[in-house]
Each structure stands twice: as C-alpha cells, then as structure tokens.
Amino acid sequence: MSASSIAVVIVNWNSGAQLLACLQSLSNLFYAPFSKVVIVDNASTDDSVVSLPRFPWLKVVLLDKNVGFGAACNIGATEISDSEIILFLNPDAAVFPGTIESVMSFLATDAARDVAVCGIQLVEDDGKVARSCARFPTPVAFIAAGCGLAQLFPRLGYQMLEWDHLETREVDHVIGAAYFIRSAVFRKLGGFDSRFFMYFEDVDLSRRVRAAGWRTIYLASVRAFHAGGGTSKAIKGRRLFYSARSRVLYSVKHFRSFPDIPLVIFVTIFVEPFARLGRAVGLLSLDALRETTEGYRLLWAWFFRWLIRGFKT
C-alpha cells in the first residue's frame, strides 16, 4: 500500500501563538504530497485563528461551541477526501524539516503494509524526549494510577514511563499530539469516539485499530516538537475531570469482567480524589488543592447524573 499524500488536522482552543508557530512549521516545509491543512476551532475566545496567514492549502472551520477533541478531529477529517494519510497534530506541536517526508516514506514501504498508525519521537521544551507511547490500559493499570502506585512502580501503569523512547518499535498506542493514520482505516473505524470529550479518545482508536488487524509503530528516528499540556495548563482542574471521566468511560466500553469495571469506578471516583488531596497537602500546594477540589467536584456531579441517566453519556 502506498502513502503518497497527506492532510493535517489541527484542533484549536485558545492556543494563541502556539497555533501560529505550528502552522508556520508546516508552511516552512510544505511540499507536493500535502493536500490540505484543516484547523477546527473549538469556539476559541482568544482570536487565535483571526490573524492566521491565509495559505491556499489552509481551511479553517469555526465551531460555535467546544465539542471536544475527538469530535473536532472527526469534523476536520470530513474536510479531507483525497489524502491517504491524516496527521492529527496538536497546536502546541511543531514539525521539523524531514518529519513528514520520513513518515510518508516509511508508510510506503512493504514492511509497513499492515501499519495503520505511526507515532514519532517528541521533544519537549527542555530538549528531553517525551514518554509518548502507552500500553492499552488494563483494570490493574487504572487502579494503580488511581491509588498512586503507578508513580512508584511505572510498569504497573499504562504509560510507558520506564522506557526511554530511543528506539523504533511496535507499540499499543502513540500519543494523539502527532498521530499519523491511514485515512481509509480511520474512516472504516468511524474515527474517534466523540463520547470522550478529551483524553483516551486516541487510546480507544488505537485499540480499535489493533482489533481490526493493524499495527502501530513508534519511529524514534523521526522527530517533532511538543510543548505538552498546551492550553489545558490553564484549566488544570477541568483537565483532571476530563481525564478521570474518560477513564471511567473507557473502562465501561472495553473491560468485560464484572469485578473490573466497578473496581475501577470506585477507585477513580472515591479513592483517587483523597490520594491526590493528600499529595497536595504534603506538597503544601494551595494551587494543587484548588485544582483537585475543582476536578473532583465536577467529576462527582457528572458521575451521579450519569448514574441517574442509566450510564448514558
């Protein structure tokens, strides 16, 4: 299977100068296989898309409300019809010269005929290589994360923190900040599950990719920049809420054994908040206390509404 053309989808929400830098990194190396760059703006209030250069290959889709990351990616993908590869790129990321070409060349090889998703090495602000790959979460991994055990014993968790990310290998999942996927596979699988407003929609898609018989490869020889956190740094409490809620939704969707789902939900809803509050107190951090309190206040409110609705999101 060849890989001769690529389109880029960027979801923006109040990204400010980061979005411009991301777009500039693409414009600096724009080349023939590109068909389009689509920016889907999730009802930003910072005018981050107003002053963007109007490149002929750029399409901006303005939404009147924030529909979440996965749903916005799906909207962006509907604007693309003629590209074999879609790159979902965060606005706080930037590609380097050779980044796109190297991935496209790899996906065009015979060795990558059964590879649907490709990730690359992401370099952070301090020059360190980000831990950007993950195992498919298990009930044990979620419970360990909720109890704080994954920080002490990384192999218990789903994030591959114990691996230095310095060699190319097959993995379960690569972070959605720079997520290359064959467009035919993306469309066949129905894109991202929009029930995940933010977080784990990419893990869910990677899991469905594997179930459909495709592989995911992390290329350590190809690099891009990723600031990490992006605009969600400004809403840490709400970010905590979205992460915890998505773990609950992921568990209900993918775990099958009876004890597993209620255990994950119990730990996430009733154990993790107090573990986090304890850490915040230990650090003497008022900010962490406020963020944790806000995040779990939102989570508890959602959880009881979700129960009343009969587990319907």
Summarize pLDDT for 250-279 with one digit per residue, the tens.
999 999 877 999 999 999 999 998 888 888
Query: Are 25 and 83 contained in the same domain?
Result: yes
Q: Give 95-114 pLDDT, tens digit per residue.
A: 998 899 999 999 999 999 99
Query: Are 77 and 208 contained in the same domain?
Result: yes
Q: What is the predicted pLDDT for the residue at 2? A: 44
Tell me, yes or no, whether 137 lies in a domain.
no
* Counted domains in the chain: 2
Query: Are 223 and 246 contained in the same domain?
Result: no
Q: Which long-range contacts (CB under 8 A, 24 or more apart) does 262-271 make?
A: 263/139, 263/143, 264/139, 264/142, 264/143, 264/146, 267/142, 267/143, 267/146, 267/147, 268/142, 268/146, 268/244, 268/299, 269/244, 269/299, 269/300, 269/303, 271/146, 271/147
Q: Which residue has the higher pLDDT, 285 or 135?
A: 135
pLDDT reading at 230 higher than 80? no
pLDDT reading at 231 higher than 80? no
Q: What is the predicted pLDDT for the residue at 1? A: 38
Tell me, yes or no, whether 159 lies in a domain.
no
Q: What is the predicted pLDDT for the residue at 128? A: 93
Domain ends where: 209, 228, 247? 228
Query: Are 50 and 181 contained in the same domain?
Result: yes
pLDDT reading at 34 higher than 80? no
Tell me, yes or no, whether 28 lies in a domain.
yes
Query: Are 207 and 238 contained in the same domain?
Result: no
- The domain in which residue 37 lies consists of 6-130+165-228
pTM, full prediction: 0.91
Token pair recorded at residue 13: 């929400």
CATH assignment of the domain containing 119: 3.90.550.10
Q: Give 160-214 pLDDT, tens digit per residue.
A: 999 999 999 999 999 999 999 999 999 999 999 999 999 999 999 999 999 999 9
Tell me, yes or no, whether 153 lies in a domain.
no
Tell me, yes or no, whether 115 lies in a domain.
yes
Q: What is the predicted pLDDT for the residue at 175? A: 94
Domain ends where: 184, 200, 228? 228
Query: Are 221 and 238 contained in the same domain?
Result: no
Domain ends where: 228, 260, 275? 228
Tell me, yes or no, whether 146 lies in a domain.
no
